[in-house]
Every structure is written in structure tokens, then in C-alpha cells.
Amino acid sequence: MKCPVCYYQDTKVIDSRVASDGLSIRRRRECLKCGFRFSTYEEVEILDLTIVKRDGRKEAYGREKLIKGLRKALEKRPITDDNFKKLVNSIERDLQAMRKSEITSSQVGQVLMKHLKRVDQVAYIRFASVYESFKDAQTFRRELNKLLRNKKRENKKITKK
């Protein structure tokens, strides 16, 4: 791997360990020419996944598109970079667990909403409003009421224990 400072071709790995998410490897490297030290990450990549769009078109899965959608939903919300990465990895893990070479954009959206609902309910509503094309305030209200009912059920289960 090239050094990011002097662009020399050879670097050596000083340390290698599993990252906090358990799904990537963090490597500490040192340039053999200038001595600069830096970190790299090796992650599992979903390569053979095709997304079937609503109109029937097909496109290769793109992690960047998932990240862009999540960033928009979570804009100005209190989520750390580490938790954001864990969220992306969890969603991708669920997509991989389907063990299919093709999945619909609707399936991707459902997985994404399931995870957003657990992480940040405001981000969930933002994403759902666009994804499910909310037409009016009533649709927002219905979705919010569903969230509130589910929250009450969860709280009752916790207090019974």
C-alpha cells in the first residue's frame, strides 16, 4: 500500500487487530521510506448483490447510496461516527443474511427502517416519510401513533420484569 505522505510503494504492517465492530480489521502501517505511520481498515464488502428497483431496473448494490440515505435521515441527530458505522454494518449484515443475489429496493428500505426505528425515531420518521411517500400530516400522525403505541408496549414489558 502506498504511503499517503510520500507515495512510496512499500509499507509494513506494525499491528493488526479486529476493530470494535468485529467486522473489520484495523492495521497500523509504517512507510519504509519516510517513517510515517497510519491506519487502514479492511472490511467485508457486499459484491454480488443486485438491487431490483420499483420500475424493474437493476443496479449493483452501492454502500455509498445506503450511507447517503442514512446521513440524510440522521442529519443533525445525536449519533456518533462509531455508532453510524455500526448501523451501516448491521444493515449490510441483514442484507447479506438474506443470501440472495438479487433483492428489491423495497426489501432494502424495510431493513433500513427496522434499524432506524431502533436507533433514532426522528430519523426513522424522516426516512419513512420519503420512502413511503407520506401524502399529508395525517399519514405522519398515524406513523407517530404507531411508534408511541410500540414504545408504551415496550415500557410495560420492562416494568413487569
Q: What is the mean pLDDT of each run of 10 residues along the chain (161 residues)?
A: 94 90 86 96 78 94 92 93 90 90 93 92 88 84 84 67 58
pLDDT at residue 47, rounded to an integer:
63
One-letter amino acid of 29: R
User: Which residues, 6+ apart, have CB-to-CB distance to 112 below 8 Å?
Assistant: 66, 69, 70, 91, 127, 131
pLDDT at residue 143, rounded to an integer:
84
Residue ranges covered by each domain of the chain: 11-43, 50-160
Euclidean distance between CA atoms 106 and 62, whole angstroms: 15
What spatial distance separates the first Cα and last Cα of the chain, rounded to whole Å?
Answer: 54
pLDDT at residue 161, rounded to an integer:
58
